[in-house]
Amino acid sequence: AAALPVRLLAPAPGERVADLCAAPGGKTAQIAAAGAAVTAVDRSAARLERLGRNLERLGLSAEVVTADALALPEDAPFDAVLLDAPCSATGTIRRHPDVAWTKSEADVIRLVGLQRRLLDKAARLTRPGGRLVYCTCSLEPEEGGGQVADFLRRNPEFERMAITPDRLAGHSELIDDAGDLRTLPSQLAGGTGRAGGLDGFYASVLRRRG
C-alpha cells in the first residue's frame, strides 16, 4: 500500500520532485528510480541517515535536506510534491494492533492540525500545472478525505485528479467514491498472518491549475 502513492504521483525523468516527511526513504527511492531529481526533506537527522544508507545501497541519489518542511523556502516550486503526512497510523493496525490503545482522540485532533499546515505548505511548493499527492496510513476520515475536502475549499487553485483503475493495475476496489485511493486491511486476500491483508492507506492526487 505504501508504494502506491508514488505510482499515482507518476514522477517523470528530469522532473523536480519534493518528498516531504521523507524518511526512511522508500518513496524517495521510488522517485529517484523513475529518473526524477528528488529533494527528500525530513526534520529527523537520524532517520535521514537511514535514508542515505538506503539510497547508497540501491545506487540512487537525492538531495537530502534536514529541515522542518513548514520552513522550506518557496521561491523555486516543484513539478510534483509528495506529502506522506504524520498521522495516527490506524491503517497499520493489522501489523501493529497496539495502535488501537496508544492513539487517542486528542492525538488525531493534533495530527489533523499538523496535516492541514503541511498540506497548505505543500501547495505553495507546487508550481502551476504541477501535481501534489497527499497520503496517510490512517483509516480516520478526518485524516483522509475530510482533510482533502477542507484543503480544496481553502485552495480553489487546486483540483482533484480522480484516480482510474489503470493506475492501480485494474484494482477498482481500491478507489473510493471521490476518486481517491483507499486501501483497507481486509483487502489483498491470499496470505496468512503477516503475509495476508493490506495496510490501510489513503491518497489523493491534486493538480494546481495554471
Catalytic residues: 137
Structural contact between residues 20 and 83, judged by C-beta atoms closer than 8 angstroms: yes
Counting other chains too, the contacts that 153-160 makes at CB distance below 8 Å and 24 or more residues apart are 154/120, 155/120, 155/123, 157/123, 157/128, 157/208, 157/209, 157/210, 158/123, 158/132, 158/206, 158/207, 158/208, 158/209, 159/206, 159/207, 159/209, 160/204, 160/205, 160/206
Structural contact between residues 11 and 82, judged by C-beta atoms closer than 8 angstroms: no
Closest CA to 174 of 210, 198, 206, 205: 198
Which residue has cell 529527523? 44
How far apart (Å, rounded) are the C-alpha atoms in residues 1 and 202? 9
